């Protein structure tokens, strides 16, 4: 069985140690976490944890079942039809060609978000694959620092 990449959303009670239960399950059972984001769901006592993982069909099935078994888990969504986005922040020296950088960011749903005396900060928000392209392209402007945000996804 070949490995596949999967985006899984876990809707959990927003209570202490729930993230530890989820991450501990991945560590204890030897599952991979490529990225993980978590934030409260507005006007509810729930949180959404979005996990990108990979594994063969049987492993993915076990991951969703084991996640569901955790007592504070309300729902596990194994995304098929979804919109997924990742955000990235990049810092460049202001000696670089800022106009070019701005054009590049705009191609990836981004722009300049902060400009200082000797550096600028830009952001981009797009699908993970496209974020990779963005980071590749930005190499030519010698980025000083890159911060990736992990993936969020929503069912279509």
Q: Which residues bind another protein (CB under 8 A)?
A: 12-13, 16-17, 20-21, 24, 28, 58, 61-62, 65-66, 68-69, 71-74
Nearer to another protein, 20 or 107 (CB): 20
Tell me phi and psi for residue 30, to 5 degrees. 75, 30
Q: Find where tokens 């993970």 sit.
A: 128
Min. distance of Cβ 65 from another protein in angstroms? 4
Min. distance of Cβ 78 from another protein in angstroms? 14
Nearer to another protein, 66 or 96 (CB): 66
Q: Is 122 helix (H, G, I), strand (E, B) or coil?
A: strand
Min. distance of Cβ 73 from another protein in angstroms? 6
Nearer to another protein, 5 or 68 (CB): 68
Nearer to another protein, 71 or 99 (CB): 71
Nearer to another protein, 20 or 146 (CB): 20
Min. distance of Cβ 37 from another protein in angstroms? 20
Min. distance of Cβ 82 from another protein in angstroms? 23
Spatial CA neighbour of 127 closest among 83, 91, 67: 83
CB burial of residue 148 (10 Å; 0-12, 13-18, 19+): middle
d(CA 8, CA 152): 10
Q: Which helix (H) or strand (E) holds 25?
A: helix 18-29
Tell me phi and psi for residue 140, to 5 degrees. -70, -15
């Amino acid at each position: 069985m070949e490995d596949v990449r999967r985006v899984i959303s876990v809707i959990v009670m927003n209570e202490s140690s729930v993230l530890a239960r989820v991450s501990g399950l991945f560590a204890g059972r030897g599952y991979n976490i490529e990225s993980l984001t978590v934030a409260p769901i507005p006007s509810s006592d729930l949180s959404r944890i979005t996990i990108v993982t990979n594994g063969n069909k049987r492993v993915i099935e076990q991951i969703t079942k084991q996640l569901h078994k955790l007592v504070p888990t309300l729902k596990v969504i194994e995304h098929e039809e979804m919109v997924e986005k990742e955000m990235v922040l990049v810092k460049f020296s202001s000696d670089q060609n800022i106009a070019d950088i701005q054009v590049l960011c705009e191609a990836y749903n981004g722009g300049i978000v902060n400009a200082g005396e000797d550096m600028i900060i830009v952001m981009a928000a797009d699908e993970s694959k496209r974020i990779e392209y963005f980071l590749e392209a930005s190499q030519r402007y010698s980025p000083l620092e890159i911060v990736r945000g992990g993936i969020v996804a929503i069912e279509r």
